[in-house]
Chains A and B, each alone.
Chain A
Amino acid sequence: MTAGTVTPYRPGQQTGRDGFAQLLRAEWTKFRTVRGWVIGLVVAVLVMLGLGLFAAVGTSSSCQSTSGESGGPARSGQGCSTASAPPVGPGGEAVSDSFYFVRQPLSGNGSITVRVTSLTGLIPSRNGAGTGTQPGLVPWAKAGIIIKASTQPGSAYAAMMVTADHGVRMQDNFTGDTAGQPGAVTASDPRWLRLTRSGNTIAGYDSSDGTHWTQVGTVALAGLPPTVQAGLFATSPAYQAISESVGGGENGIIAPSQDTAVFDHVGLSGTWPAGTWTGDNIGAADASGIGGYHQAGDQFTVTGSGDIAPAVPGQGANDVTVAAFLVGTFAGLIAMIVVATMFITAEYRRGLIRVTLAASPRRGRVLAAKAVVIGAVAFVAGLVAAAAAVIFGTQLARGRVSVFAVSWLTEVRMVVGTAALVAVAAVLALALGTMLRRSAAAVTLAIVVIIVPYFLSLTSVLPIGVTDWILRLTPAAAFAIQQPVPQYAQVTALYSPGGPGGYFPLAPWAGFAVLCGWAAIAVALALVLLRRRDV
């Protein structure tokens, strides 16, 4: 409070001021010197890691179980002996790559053009449990032309195809999917497809008359070799009659299906050194024995079974996702909630809050400092525990069971997201503790809003429509950050939160944003109450 022209004296060290750095330091000192809280933090890390490893061990020995009666659709024809890790696509994720391939090598640049006049198929008949067949197509039965780096399952590709229910699509590297002309293919309404390679770039075109072409898309396939395999393909994903029965989880059958496509007007440009067509079952399609082709003049009839698409968890007999190793998050979160709540309620109980606020009368900054300290501590604890659980859990489970491959980016998102989830939940608990000033009430409320909604979504009592809304609106939406595999529009599967995929109605970061929103509201309310109330 100096005035006039005199330069005020400023001491080098501003002792006694409530600078934010000093506040942070004070709160950090409080945290680290309370033995119970440090123990709680260690407990949080240990239970998070321990339960994750328990899940890794408990899941991986499922081969010895007598029957898969633990819910979920009955999986026909897949025992432990046949379980093998699915191939891994160019993006690092697990994929299905099995189809019938009528191919020729293509050297350098070139293109392939065909006309598709028919797509028909066979699906299991409903009354027999997968024994008989009847004419029909699964929605994503697909046939068309493909340019693929090699015949190795999981290798890079780009394809133009007709599908049963989703019109013409251009798909690439398993996850890419672009819609072309809509509508089903018939003899009177055929589809023309064209793929053109130019270096690493492949362009896809469709047409209904062979003269007027529309470009559906272009994709760049990194590392495409000079000579690629190109030709016709047909494949048809497993038929799934999954009925979500009201209140009783799901049941149904999964059985192979097949489709048959008729091609003509096959036009090749560029260098095709072999000159003749070769037919091959690629990937797991070998096992099904379905597949073949027949050439009559210009006309090709190709039959195939399988899928060229990203794999989703739960289709294999006993695969486990990285998300299973993060199940300890729930336990670690409870420990962290207890610590974060006590970080403020202990001050009220012991009267320390009066000293704290006397030393630093700007209450908002006190709360902010507390939030920063507890958030940072929780983030670090969550990061250490989640990273260790994923790394060691994968090592423990590998060799006994196929760990469902996801890209490293996804793993990083799951681990860092889990740490962020624990941190924001801790801040939410701190805010609840500030509002309620009572440990038991605040801890109960925090657990009830964060963890119980997730639990309720798991119980089969509630219908999926209700659980979807629970997981959109409550802070439990944030567990979407641990979802290992997205819902793919081009893969038919039962996407439910309790299943092996752990699917959430919101995208990972959107779900996390819901928790952040709740935490922001709670902090704002806590701030108002802390300012208005006497201590």
Chain B
Amino acid sequence: MRLPVPASTGSAEALHAEWTKTRTVASTGWLLLAAIALTVAVGAAAAAGISCPSGVVCQVDPAKVSLTGIDLGQAVVAMVAVLAISNEYSTGMIRITLSAMPRRAVVLAAKAAVLSSVVLAAGTIAVLASVLAGRLILSGHGFTPAHGYELLSLSNGPVLRAAAGSVLYLGLVALLSLGVATAVRDSAVAIGIVLSLLYLFPIVANVVGNAHWHRHLEQIGPMTAGLAIQATTDLTSLPISPWAGLGVLAAWAAAALLAGGLVLRLRDA
């Protein structure tokens, strides 16, 4: 038997509460597993589909190819993040949460902290497995030191940046999704908005023939800018430098969280 603990609304309790909610919802774990599996599978498939026969000029960025799965895995991560808040709205749980924890900014901050740690952990597994798969597969497809390609290794500075940056990228996508979902509440609308933000920029940029506009679209798109972090070769052709690109995504995430936080504060639950 436990002693009754006095009710408290501190940050630690908020974190603990959010962690318990995340931990005890079965779908979170399954979805994160799916995100990992999808990321690794697509990355491995991309690596398997590419080869560098001798005598051909290859302009392949091995790290970027191995991490292609992030393109798809991020959709599942976005879903996890959207559900973290919109599930509370659809079940009415949000009213209990906010009565227990009236400081709404703290609630959102706790959610963001728990969500990003969970996503970063899953992302680390996915990225490490992708890099390992890429290392094993690409070396068998002609990407050998004889061709001027070193084996993928995290001891290589740019590869480490690509790998660590991809993990951070997933975390930031989760925060962006959380912010959007807090603002619009409905899960379907939120996931629609998040996936539009991610995928529409590169698709629209592709048809815009004007080189300036094309570049600007790629610089402001959360995905096109954020994934610049995955580049390890030919950095001068990038629309935006790797860390600046991740900064653009961070700005999107911050703006979304700010908007979500404001709406959460001002609106009735």
Given the interface pairs A70-B214, A440-B82, A441-B79, the reply to whether A246 lies near B58 with Cβ below 8 Å is yes
Q: How many A-B residue pairs have CB under 8 A?
A: 159
Contact A55 B204 (CB under 8 A): yes
Given the interface pairs A246-B59, A330-B199, A455-B71, the reply to whether A444 lies near B78 with Cβ below 8 Å is yes
Given the interface pairs A462-B46, A498-B206, the reply to whether A334 lies near B68 with Cβ below 8 Å is no
- Would you give the shortest CB distance from A331 to chain B, in whole angstroms? 6
Contact A452 B209 (CB under 8 A): no
Given the interface pairs A331-B200, A465-B49, the reply to whether A66 lies near B192 with Cβ below 8 Å is no
CB contacts (< 8 Å) of A391 on chain B: these are none
- Would you give the shortest CB distance from B92 to chain A, in whole angstroms? 11
B8 contacts the other chain (CB 8 A): no
Which of B11-19, B105-113, B183-191 faces chain A?
B183-191
Most buried by B among A337, A440, A462: A440
In the bound assembly, the distance between CA atoms of A432 and B254 in angstroms comes to 32
Given the interface pairs A245-B59, A247-B65, A455-B71, the reply to whether A59 lies near B188 with Cβ below 8 Å is no
CB contacts (< 8 Å) of A67 on chain B: these are 211
* Of the residues B51, B52, B191, B203, contact of A444 by C-beta under 8 Å: B191
In the bound assembly, the distance between CA atoms of A249 and B58 in angstroms comes to 10
Most buried by A among B45, B56, B65, B214: B214
Most buried by A among B78, B82, B189: B189
- Would you give the shortest CB distance from A403 to chain B, in whole angstroms? 12
Contact B203 A462 (CB under 8 A): no
Interface string of A46-76 (1 = CB under 8 A from B): 0000010011001101101111111000000
A306-333 CB contacts (< 8 Å) to partner B = 318, 320, 323-324, 327, 330-331
A456 contacts the other chain (CB 8 A): yes
Contact A54 B188 (CB under 8 A): no
In the bound assembly, the distance between CA atoms of A466 and B51 in angstroms comes to 12
Contact B203 A65 (CB under 8 A): no
- Would you give the shortest CB distance from B132 to chain A, in whole angstroms? 18
B83 contacts the other chain (CB 8 A): yes
In the bound assembly, the distance between CA atoms of A443 and B190 in angstroms comes to 10
In the complex, which range does the number of interface residues on chain B fall in? 35 or more
Which of A107-115, A119-127, A341-349 faces chain B?
A341-349
B151 contacts the other chain (CB 8 A): no
Contact B65 A58 (CB under 8 A): no
Contact A458 B206 (CB under 8 A): yes
In the complex, the chain B residue whose C-beta lies closest to that of A442 is: B188
In the complex, the chain A residue whose C-beta lies closest to that of B31 is: A441
CB contacts (< 8 Å) of A243 on chain B: these are 57
Contact B192 A334 (CB under 8 A): yes
Contact B46 A466 (CB under 8 A): yes
Contact A462 B49 (CB under 8 A): yes
In the bound assembly, the distance between CA atoms of A465 and B79 in angstroms comes to 30
* Of the residues B60, B90, B202, B208, contact of A55 by C-beta under 8 Å: B208
A129 contacts the other chain (CB 8 A): no
In the complex, the chain B residue whose C-beta lies closest to that of A349 is: B90
Interface string of B51-78 (1 = CB under 8 A from A): 1100011111100110010011001101
B130 contacts the other chain (CB 8 A): no
In the bound assembly, the distance between CA atoms of A455 and B64 in angstroms comes to 16
Contact A452 B210 (CB under 8 A): no
Given the interface pairs A58-B209, A456-B71, the reply to whether A330 lies near B203 with Cβ below 8 Å is yes
* Of the residues A324, A345, A444, contact of B195 by C-beta under 8 Å: A444
Contact B209 A447 (CB under 8 A): no
CB contacts (< 8 Å) of A64 on chain B: these are 210, 212
Contact A440 B58 (CB under 8 A): no
A342-379 CB contacts (< 8 Å) to partner B = 342, 345, 349
In the bound assembly, the distance between CA atoms of A273 and B119 in angstroms comes to 84
Contact A334 B61 (CB under 8 A): no
Contact B49 A463 (CB under 8 A): yes
Interface string of A469-513 (1 = CB under 8 A from B): 000000000000000000000000000001010000000000000
CB contacts (< 8 Å) of A338 on chain B: these are 188-189, 191-192
* Of the residues B72, B75, B187, B209, contact of A320 by C-beta under 8 Å: B209
Given the interface pairs A246-B56, A455-B199, the reply to whether A341 lies near B188 with Cβ below 8 Å is yes
In the bound assembly, the distance between CA atoms of A343 and B32 in angstroms comes to 27
B196 contacts the other chain (CB 8 A): yes
* Of the residues B58, B72, B211, contact of A66 by C-beta under 8 Å: B211
Contact A452 B71 (CB under 8 A): yes
A335 contacts the other chain (CB 8 A): yes
In the complex, the chain A residue whose C-beta lies closest to that of B49 is: A466
In the bound assembly, the distance between CA atoms of A150 and B158 in angstroms comes to 62
In the bound assembly, the distance between CA atoms of A338 and B68 in angstroms comes to 26
A216 contacts the other chain (CB 8 A): no
* Of the residues B75, B188, B196, B210, contact of A448 by C-beta under 8 Å: B75
In the bound assembly, the distance between CA atoms of A54 and B201 in angstroms comes to 12
A439 contacts the other chain (CB 8 A): yes
Contact A65 B212 (CB under 8 A): yes
Most buried by B among A69, A454, A459: A459
CB contacts (< 8 Å) of B202 on chain A: these are 455, 458-459
Given the interface pairs A65-B210, A447-B75, A455-B203, the reply to whether A337 lies near B46 with Cβ below 8 Å is no
Contact B50 A463 (CB under 8 A): yes
- Would you give the shortest CB distance from B22 to chain A, in whole angstroms? 16
- Would you give the shortest CB distance from B55 to chain A, in whole angstroms? 11
B207 contacts the other chain (CB 8 A): yes
In the bound assembly, the distance between CA atoms of A54 and B217 in angstroms comes to 12
- Would you give the shortest CB distance from A44 to chain B, in whole angstroms? 10
A residues at B contact (CB < 8 Å): 36, 40, 51, 54-55, 58-59, 61-62, 64-70, 243, 245-249, 318, 320, 323-324, 327, 330-331, 334-335, 337-338, 341-342, 345, 349, 438-444, 447-448, 451-452, 454-456, 458-459, 461-463, 465-466, 498, 500
Could you jot down 20 A-B contacts, CB within 8 Å? A40-B189, A54-B204, A62-B210, A246-B60, A247-B61, A248-B60, A324-B207, A327-B204, A331-B200, A334-B192, A334-B200, A337-B192, A342-B188, A440-B82, A443-B188, A444-B191, A447-B192, A452-B71, A455-B203, A459-B202
A68-B211, A70-B211, A451-B203 are known; give 6 further A-B pairs, CB within 8 A: A55-B207, A58-B208, A247-B61, A320-B209, A334-B196, A444-B75
4 tightest CB-CB pairs across the interface, nearest first? A248-B59, A439-B188, A247-B60, A440-B187
